[in-house]
Amino acid sequence: MNKSELIDHIAESADLSKADAGRALDAMVDAVKTTLKKNGTVTLVGFGTFSVGKRAARTGRNPQTGAAIKIKAAKVPKFKPGKGLKDAIN
């Protein structure tokens, strides 16, 4: 499912116009991004939790030349599915 298909589904399920559903989805995504930028977490009970993880600096290899390169430390987004989501899939 891509973004436009998700907007169509939200619009149909919530009885909204596609424009309203698109704005709602964009607002939700922006809220998650803003919270994660501040190292916060977003928990949607029954769905899951978005959080920020830390990846340590490490040495990697250039696949074309085999030369060693340094990869700097980074923050990465993480998602841990909740019980409701896991149960819905199984």
Phi, psi of 74 (to 5 degrees): -150, 155
Classify residue 40 by its DSSP letter: -
Which CATH number covers residue 7? Answer: 4.10.520.10
Alpha carbon of residue 25 to chain centroid: 13
Domain around 13:
3-89
Q: Could you tell me the strand order of the sheet in which 48-55 lies?
A: 42-44, 48-55, 74-81
pLDDT (tens digit, 0 to 9) for every residue of the chain, 90 residues total? 999 999 999 999 999 999 999 999 999 999 999 999 999 999 999 999 999 999 999 999 999 999 999 999 999 999 999 999 999 998
Please give the tally of structural domains in the chain.
1
Strands (E) in 1-90, as ranges, are 42-44, 48-55, 58-61, 68-71, 74-81
